[in-house]
Each structure stands twice: as structure tokens, then as C-alpha cells.
Amino acid sequence: MCGIFAYTGRKNAVPILLDGLSSLEYRGYDSAGVYCPASGSVKSVGAVGNLLKNIDGLSGESGIAHIRWATHGEPTEKNAHPHRDCTGKVWVVHNGIIENYLDLKKKLAMKSHRFSSDTDTEVLAHLVEEHLKKKKSFEAAVVQALREVRGTYGAVFAYETEPDKLVAARMGAPVVLGLGSHENFVASDPSPIMRHTKDAIFMKDGEVAVITPDTHTVYNLNFDRIDRAAEKIEGDAEAIKKGGYRHFMLKEIMEEPDVVKNTLRGRLLTKNGLAKLGGLESVAERLRGVKRIIIVGCGTAYYAGLAGEYMLEGHAGLPVEVEVGSEFRYRKPVLDNSTALVAISQSGETADTLEAVREAKRQGILTLGIINAVGSTIARETDAGIYNHAGPEIGVASTKAFISQLTALALLTLFLGRQRGMSLAEGKRIAEELTRIPEKIASILKDERKIKAVAKKYKDCRDFLYMGRTYNYPVALEGALKLKEISYIHAEGYGAGEMKHGPLAMIDGSFPTVAIAPSGSVYEKMLSNIQEIRARKGPIIAVSTAGDKMMRQFASDTMFIPETIEMLSPLLAVVPLQLFAYHIATLRKLDVDRPRNLAKSVTVE
């Protein structure tokens, strides 16, 4: 996810653009840049503040600006936006992923176009340059170029020859037009616009807008004009950054359907029951020879790895061990050429996980990463990997990154399983169900009020037990962690089969248990464990499959999830637990985005 801001008017654009970028800094943080047709461009690695060191001499009454969260190419100055064409006259800033950029780049290179970055975005500028050879207007060239693009984009184009004209476009990534007096704006969201105007047009997918200081016109991709009335932006800038939600954590939970879509985008060949993972193509043959996998992670990433263990062993036929990064680095692991290590980290900078990667590389084994931050240290040091494409996660307690990690592990399972004899029918079944997961998560999110009511009932409890089996044992661990992190309530996650081996001693009428018990191979076993707790008068909060009438009889309270295949049940079962923890913490009036003593990226031991 990236931040875009653009301006055309009668004032000096540079301070306006920098101010707009600063308000979008939550959307990206690894590089930034500004282009003004009247004077050129400035880029820097890091936050917006770094631009100030080189901004002298940049001026003009229009410009485009960008703060980047990398997806294609490391966070370097050459990969920072805005990007230009061969002539230096067409410039673009872009939020999204151009799925067919490699094909487009190859075709453009055959026409003597020269590329200077590793990004997918740069092809947009070159495409427009190519179409300007045939089209009479800048905007017509942009529309024609966009017709060739597959993927998502929120983009703004600038043209040196027509310095006061900007062309904005949307397909799957938000774009807002701000309409002022003798000035107009474009942004990724309303927050940087609100300080200038409250009049806005929220563009829809497939729309292109042409703006000058005094005009704005909206078209579709057939170049038909669309009449769209402006609407008033309500609220304050800080609230809009959060999408209208009270906290980033809630916003990020609500983004989870889109997160799964983004992690899956371009990676599923559903009809063939295959996962197409470009990040693993360079090591595909080495992976065929792998006979054992070690997954390493910390905290939430470790729990995602535990779920991945069940996926990979159950469907890819590979023995898997899951290690806490801080323990792996102090062991003397027995590794050989048939072993691969998979490191999972949202930030890609987790110190213990990074050291596990380095130890594996010292022993010469294949290393893979499942990483959210492109260009991070782990992403650079592993041999290959899978990017989550979850976008920046601001809340310290991981929610959407965990969902994306589970999704990436499911893709890895499909990829490796089909290498090892997984049937076409099974591959198709997994692939097809993965495509349904976003809408199923969305249906759970619609029950937020019901989940909040359950949270209100239990918000003053001092202790919780979370229990699950097989795929949902890791979900029990993650659910307990979420509650601990943000509400400061003691919670323990356990395998339900372990109840009689100790935890049952703690149960009484004031000690609730959260039982993750969707339909599946261990459903009856979970019912037995629930009965053990009921016999000790322990309250039961059950997460079960929609329509489960039996669970209503046994549980004190129930949170339902849609039915899915057992392998993918963690992707659904964890969602009500995230909301449950969130609402308990907010009801206790705690800062859920910044829990005490915790940091987002743990880069030290």
C-alpha cells in the first residue's frame, strides 16, 4: 500500500505536496518522491522528512507526490516514485500491483524503451509514452495505456508539455478527487485533502479523471464522460486515516477480506488446481528435492507456522518442524541438503528469525521467506520467498498480517503438494475454496455487534483458557495472545486434548474457556472436552460452524463462522477471536493500537 497526493492550482505546489505526503505517512514509509513539471523531481529513501534535504530548487504550481511501501523492487531511490518515461516528459505515481508488467515490459523493450527501476509501475509511464505517438491528447494516451493493464491501480499521471493538467485513474485502489477554488487535488484517501477542501469525488473502478486548476472531468475506460456530483467529506483527518474506524486495529481486521484477495492475486490457477508463485520459480527444482521443512517465526508468525505445519504435512506429505526463532538460534540443529527453512516475519526484520536464516545459510540449506515488507533484511537474505501483500500494519497486535501468512502458507502447501502427487481434484478443491475465503471472512465481520456483546459479558474476567485441536490448536494460541497483548488479561492457549493433564484444575465458574470447535475430523473430540469443562461449571464461549445446533446446547455463548474445508478453517476461526479481543480491550478503555511494553518490529533480542 502506498500514499499518493497531487495538486494543480495557483499556489506553490511543493509545500502543499509535502504536507499531503506527511499526512499519508501511515500508508508507506520506505521511500518518497515529488515531481513538478516546472522544475523536475526529487526522491529519497525513508520517510517524507528525508525529502526536505534535497527539495531546494523544486517549484511549480502543480505536481504529483508519493510515499512508498515497496512491492516490486527494494526501497531504493531508483525504485521510489514518481517514475518517468524515456523522454522524461511523462511521470506517474501508483498504488497497486500491475500483474502483467513483465509481459508489457518485454514488449516495450522490443520497441527500444529503456527502464531504470525494478518496479512494475514504470511500465505505465512508458505505455503512455508509446500511445502518445498515436493519440492526439495526453488523457487519451493514458486511457489507451490503461486498457492494456491487468491488476490494481490508483494512479496519477503528469505531462511536462501540459503542466497544469493531471490525469488520475482507479482500478481496485482508492482515489479521491478534492475540488477547491482555482485548485484541485488527488489523493489515496481524504485525509490530506480535508485541510484544503471538503468537496470530494470518490472515484470508482474503471474511472479516469482529468483535472486542471479550474476543471475536472471523469471518464470511463471507453472514454465516455461520466457526470459525478461532489460530496462533502465529514470528520477529521486523523479519523479518515483510520478509514472512519476508532483504531487501526479494527480497520486492519476489517481489511482482511481484501488482504486475502491481495495475497492470492495472480497466484491461483484454479482450473488446474495450482499455485503460481513467481517468488519460488528460481528454486522450484531445488524444492522438488526437499524432504523436510523447518518453519521459524516469533509470536504470531510462529503460530501461523504451526498452522502451516498441519497444512504441509496433511496435504503436501512433507515432514515439518516449527521452531521459535529465539530457540532455534541457540540450538545445534541437524540440517542437510534435503531440508528447507521457511522464515515467517511481518516486518522482515525480526532479529531472532533473521539469525535463524543466517544459521541455515551457514549450513548451506535452502531458505525461503514469507514476508510482508518488501526489501527487508530477511527478504533480501533468503534464497526465495512469498510476499504477503497485506499492506502496512499499523496496530502493534498483528491481525491482517496473520491472515495473510495463513493464506501464503496455504499457497505454499498447494505449490509443494502438486509437486508431490497431490491430485488434480484435491488441488482444485483447495484452490476453489481459497477464492471463497474473502467473502466468508466478510460474513463474519458483519457479526461484529454480536461478538461485541459477548465481549461485554466477559470483559471483567481475570483469566481465560483457549483450546483447540489440529488446525485450530494454533488458533487457540493466537486467540489467547491477542487477548493478552491488548487487554492485559491473563490467557492461555492449549491443545484441547491436554485438558486432563493439568489445565482442568484451574476451571471454575469464574474461569471462561474459548473453545474453537468448527465442524471437522475432531469435532466430537472437542465436544467431549467441552463437556469436561461444563461439568466443572466453567463458562464456554464456542467458535463453531454456522448452523451448529448442538453447540448452542453446550456453550454459554457462541460465535459462528461459515463452513470451509478443514485446512482453511484457521483463516475463519481466528477472525471472531480478533474482534473479541479488540472489543474487550476497548471496553476496558485501553489503547489497542499501542499496547504497553510492545513494539511493532522486534529488531533486537
Strand 199-202 with 176-179, pairing = antiparallel
Cell of 568: 482453511
Q: How many CB atoms within 10 Å of residue 350? A: 29
Active-site option among 261, 276, 457, 600 = 600
Strand 90-95 with 62-68, pairing = unpaired
d(CA 590, CA 363) in angstroms, rounded, equals 45
- Is residue 600 part of the annotated active site? The answer reads yes
- Is residue 111 part of the annotated active site? The answer reads no
Helices 569-587, 473-487: inter-axial angle, 10-degree rounding = 20
Cell of 111: 520497441
d(CA 51, CA 33) in angstroms, rounded, equals 7
Cell of 166: 493531471
Helices 569-587, 400-419: inter-axial angle, 10-degree rounding = 170
Taking a C-beta distance cutoff of 8 angstroms, is the pair 279, 71 a contact? no
Helical spans, DSSP H, in 398-447:
400-419, 424-445
Cell of 557: 455463548
d(CA 197, CA 177) in angstroms, rounded, equals 10
Torsion 91-95-100-106 (CA) sign = positive
Q: Which residues partner with 516 through β-bridges?
A: 543
Active-site option among 2, 89, 298, 482 = 2
Q: What is each CA distance from 605 to 298, 304, 329, 530, 597, in whole angstroms?
A: 11, 21, 11, 39, 14
Write the burial class of residue 436 (CB in 10 Å: 0-12 exposed, 13-18 middle, 19+ buried): middle
The number of angstroms, rounded, from the C-alpha of 598 to the middle of its chain's C-alpha atoms is: 21
Q: What is each CA distance from 82 to 69, 127, 144, 603, in whole angstroms?
A: 13, 15, 20, 30
Taking a C-beta distance cutoff of 8 angstroms, is the pair 584, 482 a contact? no
Residue numbers annotated as active site: 2, 600
